[in-house]
Structure 1
């Protein structure tokens, strides 16, 4: 079965990282289903049953998003709250649809990797900041397989993912390598 990649980026067209990852995933429709929440639900009204059926029809689940305020974009949080419902994702009444399903995260972190350390600017690792997602998957008895990250080169807080036109040659090479590394990560869940 295929891997379902839930992509949540409110402006994917202007993203360099997430957009490139999506382009690479879409080259292999036999292996990956790319499901872009902002395109499917521009009004934020999520069809819970449809989303649950989509997850059930795939063997693996990856959540792909840019780190926003050290968390996920609001639409992904709403999606998690709505879709991972009692009786479906967890609970004593048949809540086992994520049990043993391989799950992972793919995140773009605009901040430099060194800033995501106990000694860094923000005093927390990316692993620490993503722990609520890991805990959610563990709570639902999913088989959490960690995360894939692309760290940015921001010098100041508040900058977005660089657009493709803003990437220098070195960054563009890193981005291309990350797209291949990302597919390798997903293939080896």
Structure 2
């Protein structure tokens, strides 16, 4: 069973029904550690040694955050700058994270159609996540397809439980290694794989 570390970052969680719902639904999931960066480091003074120790204890690292300006809240960049040190995470002697998996869990107000070459934003979510993909590559990690919740501003109250259920099932499938390399390579979003694993049970 793989151990999953969720590096959560939302500077205004009290205003977010989406992420509040996701967190509530995965609470207590076996093999999943939730690490709220803004709660632990309200002054952004990230403890690199503590974070590196957490990374070593887990197999899958997921950055969960709203998709702010095509990226992530500021503390995630601060975390990356301080924790992913040369000689530890990358470089000739930086092999600490080799073989682990990394990915993003994001929410965005835009529809999936708006994140296409011909859509409002002009690029796909995959394109915008290039810095994360390259970070994983540099650190000898496998980058997973993202888990994405689109259209959060228009999401109806009755739709939220389905998104929360999808997220929990996705984490459980990752934990239990239910996704084959071929499935992960072909998937645009991790969300897309839920039906496939459900059908195989």
User: Is the TM value for this pair above 0.5?
Assistant: yes
CA distance in 1, matches of 2:152, 2:20: 17
Q: Secondary structure at the match of 2:118?
A: coil
Please say which of residues 145-154 and 80-89 is displaced more in the overlay: 145-154
Give SS of 1:133's match: helix
Match of 2:149 in 1: 150
Query: 2:187 matched to 1:188?
Result: no
Cα contact 2:48–2:82 (8 A) shared by 1: yes
Task: Give me the whole-angstrom Cα distance separating, in 1, the residues matched to 2:143 and 2:121.
Answer: 25
* Cα distance change of structure 1 residues 67 and 150 upon mapping to structure 2, 3 Å threshold: same
Size of the aligned set, in residue pairs, is: 173
1:23 counterpart residue number: 24
Q: Which structure shows the bigger proportion of residues in strand conformation?
A: 1
Structure 1 segments (4+ residues) deviating >3 Å: none
Q: Which residue matches 1:124?
A: 123
Aligned-pair distance for 1:110? Answer: 1.5
TM-score of the superposition, structure 2-length normalised?
0.81
Residue 147 (structure 1) shift: 0.5
Aligned residue in 2 for 1:86: 86
Contact 2:18 2:152 in 1 (8 A): no
Is 2:74 the counterpart of 1:74?
yes
The SS at the match of 2:108 is: strand
Residue deviations 1:37-76, cap 9 Å, x none? 0000000100000000011111211110101111111111
Is residue 137 from structure 1 mapped to residue 122 from structure 2 by the alignment? no
Please, which runs of 5 or more residues in structure 1 have no aligned partner?
Answer: 155-166
Structure 2 CA distance for partners of 1:14 and 1:87, relative to 1, 3 Å: same
Which residue in 2 is equivalent to 1:104? 103
Instruction: Give the alignment's TM-score, normalised by structure 1.
Output: 0.86
CA distance in structure 2 between the partners assigned to 1:11 and 1:66 by the alignment: 10
Where does residue 189 of structure 2 map in the other structure?
Answer: none
Q: In structure 2, do the counterparts of structure 1 residues 56 and 175 end up closer, same or farther at CA, with 3 Å as the change threshold?
A: same
Aligned to 1:113: 112
CA separation in 2, counterparts of 1:121 and 1:176? 28
- Preserved CA contact (<8 Å) 1:134 1:146: no
TM superposition shift of 1:153: 4.8
